[in-house]
């Protein structure tokens, strides 16, 4: 082969590779992801992570107020034909959450709750208690757990099931 022909093939291969890379088309959810990244690229409080297999975009936000605002403003899901992208706003470190205050707000003026309190423990984090009034709660429940279709339980059991396990928060019933 002549030197001119070899050089021509090298240029053609490089051009072919370059055109392949440029001509790749991004699906619309990747374009949407890039738009969000572009919108927040200069914000020091926000970083993004995208899971291609699950179509999940996470925005890690180090400012609690900004995280709350974004979680209310951004859609939780975005439809692209047969693909649904989920958008999750991850607030700052979860240890910053004051569960005691959240439960106080959630149960404010609720007659089923007698007290929400915290006990300081030496060498550990405070232990928080949501204390319910001493009463058996009954309601109609048409499952097979009771032959009469009635569920009898305590509010603490319901709260434990509904809220799950929360660090250093315990649900209990008043002994008075």
Structural domain of 151: 97-173
Question: Is 2 within the bounds of a domain?
Answer: no
3-state secondary structure of 36: helix
Residue 5: other Cβ atoms inside 10 A: 9
Q: Which of 78, 93, 108 is where one domain is finished?
A: 93
The pLDDT tens digits for 18-27 are: 666 666 677 8
The pLDDT tens digits for 47-93 are: 889 998 899 999 988 888 888 888 888 889 999 999 999 999 888 76
**Could you tell me if 69 and 133 lie in one domain?**
no
pTM over 0.85: no
Q: Which of 77, 93, 109 is where one domain is finished?
A: 93
How much is the CA Rg of the chain, to the nearest whole Å? 28
**Could you tell me if 102 and 64 lie in one domain?**
no
Average pLDDT of the segment spanning 106-122: 87
**Could you tell me if 168 and 137 lie in one domain?**
yes
Question: Is 125 within the bounds of a domain?
Answer: yes
The pLDDT tens digits for 135-148 are: 887 766 666 666 66
* Separation between Cα atoms, residue 58 and residue 48, nearest integer Å: 6
Q: What share of the chain is helix, strand, coil (3-state, %, to 5)?
A: 35, 30, 35
Q: Which of 93, 115, 146 is where one domain is finished?
A: 93
């Amino acid at each position: 082969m002549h030197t001119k022909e070899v050089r021509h093939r090298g240029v053609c291969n490089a051009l072919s590779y370059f055109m392949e890379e440029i001509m790749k088309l991004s699906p619309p959810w990747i374009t949407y992801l890039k738009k969000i990244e572009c919108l927040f690229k200069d914000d020091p409080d926000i970083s993004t992570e995208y899971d291609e297999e699950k179509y999940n975009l996470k925005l890690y936000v180090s400012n609690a107020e900004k995280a709350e605002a974004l979680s209310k403003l951004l859609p939780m899901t975005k439809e692209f034909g047969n693909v649904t992208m989920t958008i999750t706003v991850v607030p700052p470190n979860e240890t910053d959450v004051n569960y005691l205050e959240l439960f106080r707000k959630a149960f404010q003026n609720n007659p089923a709750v007698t007290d929400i309190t915290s006990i300081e423990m030496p060498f550990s984090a405070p232990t928080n208690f949501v204390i319910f009034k001493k009463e058996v709660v009954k309601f109609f429940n048409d499952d097979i757990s009771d032959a009469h279709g009635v569920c009898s339980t305590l509010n603490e059991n319901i709260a434990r099931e509904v809220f799950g396990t929360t660090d250093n928060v315990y649900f209990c019933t008043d002994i008075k």
